Amino acid sequence: MLGNLTLILLCQLIGETITKVTKLPIPGPVIGMVILFCGLFFSKKMPAELESVAGFLHRYLPLLFVPAGVGVITNLDLMLHSWAPLAGAIIIGTAITVAVTGLVMQMANRRQKPDQQELQP
């Protein structure tokens, strides 16, 4: 358990270091995720303990966003000042993005499937 938690933190540490050194606009944890993924991909092994650490972290994933969400409090005045474009862009814009992405993925999936069946004898 401890070894696998350390492994995750180590990937993050390497990721953060790469971000700092290269000044890439990519957050350290995202690079850490790529590193861990490559490790799993090339070793072709999935330690059971690693799965249980990930399971624990992901069971409460929504909770982890609460402290950042409370950060809304620091910009309340600015938000009230331009509430209409903010609310419009966030609510309607998000609805459009969800619908467009989902529809395009579903359509592209359906188009691709007949091709794949042709490839298989």
Partner 1 sequence: MNGDITQLWVYLSTSPLLWLTVTLLAYQLGVWVFQRFGFSPILNPVLTAVLVLVILLKLTGTEYQAYFKGAQFIHFLLGPATVALAIPLYREVATIRKTFVPILISLVVGSLAAILSAVGIAWALGGERLLLLTLAPKSVTTPIAMGIAEQIGGLPALTAVAVVLTGITGVVIGDLVLNWVRVHDETARGMAFGVASHGIGTAHAMQKSRVSGAFSALAMALNGLLTALLLPALLSLLR
Nearest distance from C-beta of residue 39 to partner 1, angstroms: 8
Residue 68 binding partner 1, by CB under 8 A: yes
SS3 1: coil
Q: How many residues would you count in the chain?
A: 121
Exactly one of 2, 71, 80, 119 binds partner 1 (CB under 8 A); that residue is 71
Q: Which of residues 16-35 bind partner 1 (CB under 8 A)?
A: 25-30, 32-35
b/e map 56-71, b = 16+ CB within 10 Å: eeeeeeeeeeeeeeee
Residue 1 binding partner 1, by CB under 8 A: no
SS3 82: coil
Exactly one of 2, 21, 48, 70 binds partner 1 (CB under 8 A); that residue is 70
Question: Taking a C-beta distance cutoff of 8 angstroms, is the pair 88, 95 a contact?
Answer: no
Nearest distance from C-beta of residue 1 to partner 1, angstroms: 13
